[in-house]
Each structure stands twice: as C-alpha cells, then as structure tokens.
Amino acid sequence: MARITLDHLAHAYKANPRTAEDYALKEINHVWSQGGAYALLGPSGCGKTTLLNIISGLVRPTRGRVLFDDLDVTDLSTEARNIAQVFQFPVVYDTMTVRENLAFPLKNRNVPRDRTARRVEEIAGLLDLTRVLDRKASNLTADMKQKISLGRGLVRPDVAAILFDEPLTVIDPHLKWQLRSTLKEIHRALDITMIYVTHDQTEALTFADKVVVMHDGAVVQTGIPEELFERPTHTFVGHFIGSPGMNILPCRVEGTTAFIGSTMISLKRAYRTLSDGEHIELGIRPEFVRLQPKGAGLPVQVRRIDDIGRTRIARVEMNGRPLAASIPDDISIEGSEASLVLDPNHVHIYANGHLVAGEATGGHAA
C-alpha cells in the first residue's frame, strides 16, 4: 500500500536527448494517491506504456525520481518494488496449473507453503477461478488468462499498486464489461492503487475515479470524468474525449465576443486581448450545440445527419468549417438550411491549445 509520486520524471529512449522531441515522456510531476483507481488515457504512442514501465521498474527513467510513499525506488529492481502488472496479451506459465500460476510469485519469494495455499484459494475465490484451479493455464480463454495474470499480482499481500497495460485488448466484447466490473469490485474490496492504461475512453471513464490524459509524451489534463467532459483544459482532451469530439474552430476574441470569420459569438466570460502570435480557438462540445430550423442563431448548411442510437448528430458547415451539432428530439430538419444555437456556458476559448480562463462577467445570452 503506497502513494506513488512521480517527481520531475522524464524519459528518452535515445542516448543524450537534447530537444523536447527526443523525449518519449516529457517532464511529469504527479501523485497517485493510495487506493485510487486511475486511468491513463491517450492515443497509441503517447508514452503511456513507457510511464507504466517506469513505475513498475521495467524501464529506468532518464531523469527524475519515482517515490513509493517517501521511499525513492527509482533504482530499485522490478522484483523489489511490490508492483504487479497485467499486460496487453495475457501472460500465463503454460506448463503450470492455474493454482501453480497463482502460487508462483509467492513460491519465488519463499512464502511458507500453507500460507501460499490459503492465499491462492482466497484470490481464486475473488476472481471466480476456483473451479479451474487444477486445470492447466495454457488452454483457458483469454479473459481467464487475464484473470490469472491479475491474480498473480493480487496474491502478493504486500503489493503497492497494480498496473494494467490495455488489459482488455484481446478480450471478447461481451466479456470486457464483466472483467471490468470484476476489476472495480476488486478495487473496492482490496483498497489497492490501480493504474489502468488504455486508449479507449469508455474503458477509462467507466473504470477510473480519476483520468490522466496523455498526449505526445506529456500529461495534458488530470481530472474526474465530468471535468474532462465539461471543462477540457486542452483542445486535445476536448477532441479525444467525447464521441464525436469537441468542435474546435479558429477564431478571434475581443473582450466578450468571439469572431469566427464574420460570425459573432457572445461569450459568458471576458478575455484579455489575446495577442496575435497566439493561435486562438473556440471549443464547444456537440452536446451543447443545438440545431434549429432556419431562423434565429448562426446560419449553417446541413451536410449529413448521423443517427447514433440515443441521439442524432448533424454534420454541418458554418462559413465552410465543419461542425457537429446535436438535434433535439422534437425537431425535424427539412432542406439543408438550418441554424445553430450555442450554449454560452459551455463555450471555451483556447490559446495555443490551452484553455484560457477568462473573467466572469454578468453574462449576456447569445
């Protein structure tokens, strides 16, 4: 059980890194608190597996320190770290039974036999593996094998954190839900820190209490799922989370007004005059953009309407720029001319990709 602190951590696979591009993982300061369920979310190649391997000790960071509570473990080997890791592809020891697999980490650590046996039974019960305990591990299904990998981590009573590296990649869709809820239950039952790496936002948002979004080797936002949805602090988060992602439009901002081309949009907050050198963008999620029959609001051309089950999403064009908007249930759109209404409470302004806070005003509606 431990709090994990990443202190000025950075990693480059090349020797002698010079520029920021040389780093697979740019400097990170982060604290994973004891007992938290975290998701590390980001596209492939953003450095999340590197970060995970640094925490587990499989990779030694180029710079910075890793602390478990107050103990510096940067130079400790993996086996000395009390970390368990579940990999993308299930790892089981083919020649052993499920029971032997689960007992393996304890056997290697010279735990007395009767204590090992008791612990294995206990964990097998928790993971619903009791009825396969005496079968060979090699021919079980992928989800069973993943449970065994997880079980090998859980049997160690001293384990500080369990790291998951996209553990559901090879699991059948209908079993993913099951396995994920098993993980949640175990997290509740055992009070172990869990860090779950994934590129799937649904997995991340349903598993984690707190999501860490990574992009291009850096952490761009850490927060609870609602925060990521409602207040993305970076255009990448807005775009990556949500389906479809946030609408992001280049604009010009003067005080409480944003100009997208010739279209004026009133804002809830006042912004300092943003300098010319900065790349200013306006972001709003499709959920907060309503499509209306042609009339009041911003004139747009409707290109396509996607029925995604629960809601309908309109793909529209405003001054030649594509946007996604939601269509209220009671509205039907005829022809290609329509109007957009933006919810000003959910309009965000970004400078060079980062959220600009702005100052609260009394606020006038659009």
Partner 1 sequence: MTKTLNNRAWFFVLPVFAIVAFSAILPLMTVVNYSVQDTFGNNQFFWNGIGWFQELLDPSSQLGEQFLSSLMRTLLFSAIILLIQVPLGIAVALSMPREGWPVALCLVLMALPLLIPWNVVGTIWQVFARGDIGLLGWTVNSLGIDYNYTGDPIDAWVTIIVMDVWHWTSLVALLCYAGLKSIPDAYYQAARIDGASRWAVFRTIQLPKMRRVLLIAVLLRFMDSFMIYTEPFVLTGGGPGNATTFLSIDLVKLALGQFDLGKAAAMSLVYNLIILAICWVFYTVMTNVDAERERVEA
Say whether residue 152 binds partner 1 (CB under 8 A). yes
* Least distance (Å) between residue 33 CB and partner 1: 22
Q: Is 316 strand, coil or helix?
A: strand
* Least distance (Å) between residue 352 CB and partner 1: 38
Nearest to partner 1 of 139, 202 (CB atom): 139
Q: Which of 8, 14, 60, 109 binds partner 1 (CB under 8 A)?
A: 109
Asked if 190 and 157 touch (Cβ cutoff 8 Å), the reply is no
Cα 159 → chain centroid: 23
CA distance readout (Å), 315 to 206, 284, 288, 307, 318: 27, 14, 14, 11, 10
Give long-range contacts, CB 8 A cutoff, 24+ apart: 129-133: 129/98, 129/102, 132/98, 133/97, 133/98, 133/99, 133/102
Which residue, 127, 112, 121, is CA-closest to 162?
127
Using CA atoms, how far apart are residues 365 and 95, in angstroms rounded to an integer? 68
Helical (H) or strand (E) element with 163: strand 161-165
Q: Which of 68, 104, 164, 196 binds partner 1 (CB under 8 A)?
A: 104
Beta bridge partner(s), residue 30: 6
Strands 289-293 and 337-342, sheet pairing? antiparallel
Say whether residue 336 binds partner 1 (CB under 8 A). no
Considering only the stretches 113-121, 148-156, 181-189, 247-255, report the one whose residues sit in contact with partner 1 under the rule CB under 8 A.
148-156
Say whether residue 133 binds partner 1 (CB under 8 A). no
Q: Which of 50, 62, 149, 235 binds partner 1 (CB under 8 A)?
A: 149
Say whether residue 116 binds partner 1 (CB under 8 A). no
Amino acid at 69: D
* Least distance (Å) between residue 61 CB and partner 1: 16
Q: Which of 63, 87, 121, 157 binds partner 1 (CB under 8 A)?
A: 87
* Least distance (Å) between residue 169 CB and partner 1: 12
Asked if 8 and 164 touch (Cβ cutoff 8 Å), the reply is no
Q: Which of 29, 77, 178, 181 binds partner 1 (CB under 8 A)?
A: 77
Considering only the stretches 131-139, 174-182, 183-191, 309-317, report the one whose residues sit in contact with partner 1 under the rule CB under 8 A.
131-139
Nearest to partner 1 of 24, 211 (CB atom): 24
Asked if 338 and 248 touch (Cβ cutoff 8 Å), the reply is no
Say whether residue 83 binds partner 1 (CB under 8 A). yes
Nearest to partner 1 of 49, 62 (CB atom): 49
Say whether residue 153 binds partner 1 (CB under 8 A). yes
Residue 17, preceding bond cis, omega within 30 degrees?
no
Say whether residue 95 binds partner 1 (CB under 8 A). yes
Residues that bind partner 1 (CB under 8 A): 53, 56, 58, 77-79, 83-85, 87-89, 91, 93-96, 104-105, 108-109, 135-136, 138-140, 149, 152-153
